Amino acid sequence: MARVLIVEARFYDHLNDLLLAGARAAIAAAGHSHETITVPGALEVPGAIALAADQYDAFVAIGVVIRGETYHFEIVAGESARALMALTLDGLAIGNGILTTEDEAQALTRARPTEKDKGGEAAKAALAMLALKDKFAR
């Protein structure tokens, strides 16, 4: 049984609740355990994962970034994704469930477990990467 850490940037409570429900259900369905921690924002998610890298087998990044009126959206969306990708290239099993959307309607569609279930998909991706990591471990 793998230990999975869900790291959530909790800003939109109702959207995060949907993402978390999907992620937790997917992890439980696969027979693994999980814990959840909250960080201030999407930019802090990769740092938290890096800090916990030797304590968990896989990680699920959860959060929602909705485009606003400033360039801040591009920075947060791009840099959080870039940092998560760097951690995966270092060998961590991570599923990226940080939504980057134009508006709340898009986020709701992607977050709902009954629709796109991006929280569940991120958890499944993390577990798939963990299986690959285990396959190629020497």
List alpha helices for 7-138, DSSP H: 13-29, 45-51, 72-89, 104-111, 118-136
Q: Which of 129, 72, 66 is nearest to 96 (CA)?
A: 129
Cα distance between residue 121 and residue 98, in whole Å: 11
Percent of the chain's residues with pLDDT above 70:
99
Structure tokens at 49: 């994962």
Q: What is the pLDDT of residues 87-104, one digit of tens each?
A: 999 999 999 999 999 999
Cα distance between residue 75 and residue 79, in whole Å: 6
Give the CA angle between residues 131, 132, 138 to the nearest 5°. 105
Q: What is the pLDDT of residues 34-81, one digit of tens each?
A: 999 999 999 999 999 999 999 999 999 999 999 988 888 999 999 999
Q: What is the model's pLDDT at position 138?
A: 66
pLDDT-derived band of residue 137, with 50, 70 and 90 as boundaries?
confident
Active site residue 72: yes
CATH H-level, domain 8-42+51-136: superfamily: Lumazine/riboflavin synthase (3.40.50.960)
Locate the domains of the chain by residue range.
Answer: 8-42+51-136
